[in-house]
Amino acid sequence: MGLVRASVAVVEPLAADMTVYFYAILFARYPEVRPMFPPGMDAQRGRLLRALLRIVDLVDDPESLVRFCGHLGRDHRKFGTLSAHFPAVGECLLASLARYAGPAWTAEIAAAWTKAYGVVAQVMIDAAAQDEALRPAVWPATIVHRVSRGNGIAEITVRPHMPYAYAAGQYVSVETPWLPKHWRYYSPANAPREDGTLTFHVRAVAGGSVSGALVHRATVGDVVQLGAPMGDMVLDAAVHRDLLCVAGGTGLAPIRALVEEVARRGGRHQVDLFLGARTGAELYGVDDMLRMAQRHHWLSIRGAVSHEYVPGIRGSLPQVLAEYGPWYQHDVYLSGPAQMVVSANETLTQGGTLPERIHYDPFETPVLSMP
């Protein structure tokens, strides 16, 4: 696999151009696949690049590679990907690599890439086939409730048209009727309910076409599509009785779901929850969580504000965690902006918390950037 790594190192400085070329020749040679992709391809090209780099990162770790490619294969079902599409993609991928590697592209490297791609494609195909035998690729879901929470945040509750099994702490890809083929990932803010509904906390972000549509355009009665649930930030991953939960912004959603799941299981864990924001106005969801703490003796809540002087704790979440620690006897669940999660993770590991006891969602497009 050293040849694969070496060839990627050669083309990486030209990776953006290479992905443009890849999709250009893919659509030219196989126009039937074009409708599977969104009209604007910028985000898609970035995903392809991250997937390739991730696969190369994992070539020396077969177990993680198979796991990652299995997730990728199952996730691609919602796009309508078929096993017959993989040879076309492989052909155009190798042609793109050869073009941009130039003289560095040899018959030996081509053979290594052909073998590697064959393994990756087969894992994805097998995972998709196994998944297809168990559940649908997508679930239509009707919006049944919508409420604005200010600061560009809306709580949107949907009812899937078919049973939708997931675990508290997982995340879900969502497609809106206004932007076909544009999928974005959100975490349900609730543990599974008897009525089958899921509530998402969505913040309209600058340039976020899907989040903007959900916050500003969606109304009760609209139908969205859900992809299969994914992610391992679940309560069953915990080995300790004591839990530390850390949430920044709408990262509260999966943490809230985990707290509900602890309650559903009879409160067998002690939960310390830290909520963080830059300002008091952005300290989202505090009242709701305080009401939960009043009902459950095992739950304690602390809020931290980093950029404003308000009553209570001041400082960033990593700073506050260091002050209130140590947390090495806890299982830890982190959710929020990537910078916060990375900093909190560093603070906790420096304080003695084992890395395998720190659980968090991946960043950006989750299936392409799993830890």
Residue pLDDT, tens place only, 171-212: 999 999 999 888 999 999 999 999 999 999 998 888 788 999
* pLDDT at res. 1: 62
CA 193 to chain centre: 22
- Residues 24-48 have a mean pLDDT of 86
Q: With 0-12 CB in 10 A as exposed, 13-18 as middle and 19+ as buried, what is 81?
A: buried
* pLDDT at res. 322: 83
pTM listed for this prediction:
0.85
Is the pLDDT reported for residue 131 higher than 90?
yes
As a whole number of angstroms, the distance between CA 337 and CA 306 comes to 14
Please give the domain boundaries of the chain with CATH numbers for all domains: 2-132 (1.10.490.10), 139-226 (2.40.30.10), 235-368 (3.40.50.80)
Is the pLDDT reported for residue 142 higher than 80?
yes
* pLDDT at res. 366: 52
Query: Among 75-79, 230-234, 261-265, 279-283, where is mean pLDDT lowest?
Result: 279-283
Is the pLDDT reported for residue 228 higher than 70?
yes
- Residues 21-50 have a mean pLDDT of 86
As a whole number of angstroms, the distance between CA 273 and CA 275 comes to 7
- Provide φ and ψ at 55, rounded to 5°: -60, -45
* pLDDT at res. 278: 66
Up-side HSE of residue 307: CA atoms within 13 Å toward CB?
6
Is the pLDDT reported for residue 370 higher than 80?
no
Up-side HSE of residue 30: CA atoms within 13 Å toward CB?
15
Query: Among 41-55, 86-100, 254-268, where is mean pLDDT lowest?
Result: 41-55
131 sits in which H/E element: helix 107-132
As a whole number of angstroms, the distance between CA 120 and CA 115 comes to 9
- Provide φ and ψ at 246, rounded to 5°: -130, 125
Report the chain's terminal Cα–Cα distance, integer Å. Answer: 21
